[in-house]
Structure 1
C-alpha cells in the first residue's frame, strides 16, 4: 500500500514541536488495524496515513479541535465523522460515498442545525492548513 501522505503528516512534528519525528508519534499498522476492528468501512488513504504518522501525538490529536481515535469513528448523516471542535458546535466528516477517494473533500456539520457545508478542501489540505493556523496563532500569543 502506498504511503502518499505520510511524509507530509510526519513533517508536522519537526515543524511545530522542534523535534524529529519518530515511529512512536504514529500508530503502527497493527495498532490501527486493531482499533479499526469491527468497523464496517475503510479509511481514505489520507486519513489512514494521518493516524500512522501522528495518531499518537496528543498535542496534534487535541490541538484546538479533537481528532477522534480510530475506534471512535462513526458514520452519521451519510458522513464518516472524525473531528470536532472543543465546544462541540461543529463536527467534520467525509461523505461515505467518497471513502474510496484517497484524499476526499471535507464537510463540516453545524451540530445545532444538522446542516452540512463543504470545506472546499481535501483532508490533507484542510488538516495541514488547520495546524498552520493553530500553531501560528499560538506562537503569536506567546
Structure 2
C-alpha cells in the first residue's frame, strides 16, 4: 500500500533503504499476538520499511515500535508527539479496515478527535516530517494555503490522492534535487529539507519564496 512511498522518502533523506531498517514479520506478528488484533496494512508497511530506523521512528513524531504498541482509551495507540503532549491511534470500529481513520487526543484527556480519514495519509506525512527533520539542510516559511498550488510545477505529491489525502498536511518530493517538503494546513507553514544547501536555495528561487533556515 505505502511501502514504496516510504522507501522513496528514505532514499532522499538517508541515501538508501536497507532491509535492517525495517521490522521483521516475526516482530509484527508478535505484536499482533500480544494485542489480539491484526495491524492495518498501512501500519504494517511502515514497520516493515522503517520500524527499526531511528530517524524515521523518532525524529519529530515518536512512532511506537511493534513491541510498544498499546491499547488505551479504547484505541490502538501507535504514535506520540515527541514531547508526549498528544497521541494518535486507531479505534476498534475502524480496525478491520486495511486503511482506517486515525484518531488523536491530548495526553491526560479522555476525548478522541478525528485526525485523518486515512491511516496511509497520516503515515506518509509522518514519514516526510521525520525525514525533513533528519536532513542536514532545513528551512521553513509561512505560505497561505491559496498559494500552495504554485509549488506543484516544482514538486511531486507523495502518493496518489486516494492514499495521501484526508489529514492536516500535504507532502512533496523532488527526486532530482533530493528535496522533501511538507505543508501544515493549520499553521499555513511549509517545511523543506534537502541534502545540500544549494537545493534549498534553488527551490527558494524557483518558487519565489523567502525561506528561514532551521
The alpha carbon displacement at 1:80 in A equals 0.5
Q: Partners of 2:81 and 2:105 in 1: how far apart?
A: 11
Which one of 107, 113, 131 corresponds to residue 109 of structure 2?
113
TM-score by length of 1: 0.85
1:30/1:118 Cα in 2 relative to 1: closer, same or farther (>3 Å)? same
2:3/2:46 contact within 8 Å kept: yes
Q: Which has the larger radius of gyration?
A: 2
Structure 1 match to 2:55: 59
**Any stretches of 5+ residues in structure 2 without a counterpart?**
140-212
In structure 1, runs of 5+ residues without a counterpart are none
* TM superposition score normalised by structure 2: 0.59
1:16 and 2:13 aligned: yes
Number of matched pairs: 138
Residues in 1 aligned to 2:108 and 2:26: alpha-carbon distance in whole angstroms = 37
Match of 1:82 in 2: 78
- Inter-partner Cα distance in structure 1 for 2:17 and 2:35: 29
Instruction: Compute the RMSD of aligned alpha carbons.
Output: 1.9
| Alignment partners' CA distance in 1, 2:131 and 2:20 | 21
